[in-house]
Amino acid sequence: MSQDKEFFTTFFSIMAGLAVFAIILVIIASQLTSEVTEYKPEKIVIENIKPVGEVYIAGESEPEAAPAAAAATTVAAGPKSGEEVYNSNCLACHGTGAAGAPKMGDAAAWAPRIAAGMDSLLANATNGLKAMPPKGLCMTCSTEELQGAIEYMVNKSQ
């Protein structure tokens, strides 16, 4: 009989401790969330799905005043230099040798590619080769810009 009494005493002590612990957690949670402003999911959803920009068709409608930030992001006319294309698109792989890309400056790795000729290098860059995607993911690069980047790498790798 004493084992049953001891079991119940231990059991109820543990349960009372857990109840006190739960009450403490509720108090802490209410204190932490008391400063949270009113939750309005409609506003959050509308903010998340609003259009990023607007389409303007010349002659059909007048655009609203363009923000200064949009004017600041306008890309300068003219092609990018080979070094600019390399630094913005090629450096990640050809600077580290990632995915088997020949590292710029590694004459041994570049020698057979250079021997194949500029047309071969340009075709491989344009169409992609092994792990390199077409245009090295520089989808806005013109053929001249790609050729400039190749020439830049070749000149630094001979």
Query: pLDDT tens digit string along 124-149?
Result: 999 988 888 888 888 889 999 999 99
104 and 151 both lie in a single domain: yes
149 burial via Cβ count (<10 Å: 0-12, 13-18, 19+): buried
With 70 as the cut, is the pLDDT of residue 92 above it? yes
- Which is more confidently placed, 123 or 66? 123
136 and 92 both lie in a single domain: yes
What's the pLDDT at 33?
A: 74
91 and 152 both lie in a single domain: yes
With 70 as the cut, is the pLDDT of residue 69 above it? no
148 and 88 both lie in a single domain: yes
CATH code of the domain in which 93 resides: 1.10.760.10
16 within domain boundaries: yes
58 within domain boundaries: no
Structure letter (DSSP) for residue 52: S
Domain limits for position 146: 82-156
31 and 96 both lie in a single domain: no
